[in-house]
Amino acid sequence: VSAISNMLSRIGEKPEITDNHDKIDNSDFIILPGVGSFDRAIKNLEDKDLLSILNKKISDNTKILGICLGMQILCNGSEEGTKRGFGVFDVECKSFETKNSSKIFIGWSDIKIIEQINDFRFMNNNKFYFLHKYYFPINKDYTIGISDNDLNFSSFVKKNNIFGVQFHPEKSHNYGINFFKNFLNLK
């Protein structure tokens, strides 16, 4: 979370890390960070009574960016757990794991943008940092960008004003800075 805040500060934003309902309700955009497990993330939101305010912001079509697990909790659910996600994306996240491997995708990878949105062309074939074991399957209704880890998966998704990225822009150096600048400038 602090890495996201630091990167946003570097580009002139004044991010606020909060679980305060009024501050969230008055936000122009929300970033859902992603570290941890699916069920634990949903449980943390339940424990802090944040599900209702986040559902309200989703219904209000507030600009929201889910990063890694933050993107996955915007889906219906995940093979990683049993809790339900927000259901913005009508998708179940899948595991890279096979019966012969407990595969984790870690490292730098290209992104191929398959649908051009404003100024996101710069992302084509640039390297972004990934660290995940579960993935968002390619979906014709939501997938904007794809990456590869022995299979193609969604690395950038969108529905209305809700976005999700599987990579970590806050750990992707100049590519991440450019991504945040472009994301924040979307109208």
Based on the residue annotation, tell me whether 68 is a catalytic residue of this protein: yes
What are the distances in angstroms from CA 155 to CA 90, 99, 104?
A: 16, 24, 15
Based on the residue annotation, tell me whether 173 is a catalytic residue of this protein: no
- With CA atoms as reference, report the closest residue to 143 among 121, 166, 126, 119: 166
Active-site residue identified among 92, 93, 170, 173: 170
- With CA atoms as reference, report the closest residue to 110 among 143, 145, 147: 147
Distance CA 29, CA 15 (A): 10
Active-site residue identified among 13, 75, 168, 173: 168
3-state secondary structure of 74: coil
Based on the residue annotation, tell me whether 170 is a catalytic residue of this protein: yes
- With CA atoms as reference, report the closest residue to 129 among 157, 167, 170: 167
Which strands form 89-95's sheet, in the order they lie side by side?
75-78, 89-95, 134-135
Active-site residue identified among 68, 75, 80, 132: 68
Question: Which residues are known catalytic residues?
Answer: 68, 168, 170
